[in-house]
Structure 1
């Protein structure tokens, strides 16, 4: 056997030439067995801002963060990101989604419910998106309101 094809050893385990793997479950270090020689080459790495370290299709790696969908409609019905359906009455503003604490985006979606003809039931009045100083509100009768605060991107 050609010595350049013998592969590499790492922590007592053999890896074929050309193979690569993450050394931990947080994707903070990745090792590669180069085409020549038998010494493993390891580098400190991390997943991107919009990625998570997970196993997908049997392979650990950095993958795009998952997506989820919610629906809001009627008097008021909320189908949440976890797939649960909620029906409730209340004439309030509700925060539907907001960015995580470590998110660089100032992001939120809110709704407003109002009483409609009776104090015993409410319906969705508006949906608003706020993103880094931009505020867009979708209201009744297809009215759209947009406002923008001065924001400096850093």
Structure 2
């Protein structure tokens, strides 16, 4: 007696957006960096996720061919990404969000910043740092070491970026206070962090992210 089993290998692959499973796909896929390299590919086919027609590989994502990034000295730069083009952080370049257009301008680090490489990324990093803190019902310690109590019961900005600087990642930390038995005393009911187009909300009952 013989038994035959059929295994759908495509179900084992979870392909990214704008791509599909191929049992015998090209080992030299279309990429933004080398749009014609696949034509001369001599490698055997591989089991892979291939980009859909009209899309090409940009890093680990399949993007529309018109949204490919830029090229700078043989280096591929994804659309929307900015980088320092020199070792002294004097020239900042950015690939347009639509892709294909590289714009550079003279820049430089701001006061209290130093040009250096951190985790493989060259940028302007602050020479010193400070910490702010909120605790209790509620007590605040500011970045410059000041201490005060504040018993307001609305939504307030605890910390955030207040200047437009391409070297800084915009973010906001908001807190909502609520009365604590007495209208003269409040406590922190909710905390919301906004960064990279993500909102993380934490309150006294549950936490969620979307």
TM-score range, shorter chain: 0.5 to 0.7
Query: Aligned partners of 2:170, 2:202: CA distance in 1, in Å?
Result: 19
Superposed CA RMSD in Å reads: 2.9
> 1:110 corresponds to which residue?
174
What per-residue deviation string (whole Å, max 9, x for no partner) do you get for residues 118-139 of structure 1? 2121111122110132011121
Match of 1:64 in 2: 125
Flag the 1:64–1:133 CA change in 2: closer, same or farther, 3 A: closer
Deviation per CA, 1:42-93, whole angstroms, max 9, x where unpaired? xxx86458x7259xxxxxxx97313221111111111111111111211011
Q: Is there any run of 5+ residues in structure 2 with no aligned partner, and where?
A: 1-88, 91-105, 116-122
Out of 47, 52, 55, the position equivalent to 2:113 is: 52
Contact 1:107/1:130, CA 8 A, preserved across alignment: yes
Q: Does 1:123 align with 2:184?
A: no
Distance (Å, rounded) in 1 between the aligned partners of 2:163 and 2:124: 21
- Structure 1 stretches of 4+ moved >4 Å: 45-49
1:122 and 1:75 map into 2 onto residues whose CA distance is: 6
Bigger RCO of structures 1 and 2 (CA < 8 A, at least 6 apart): 1
Counterpart in the other structure of 1:33: none
If the length of structure 1 is used for normalisation, what is the TM-score? 0.52
User: Is residue 2:185 matched to residue 1:146?
Assistant: no
Query: TM-score, normalized by length of structure 2?
Result: 0.40
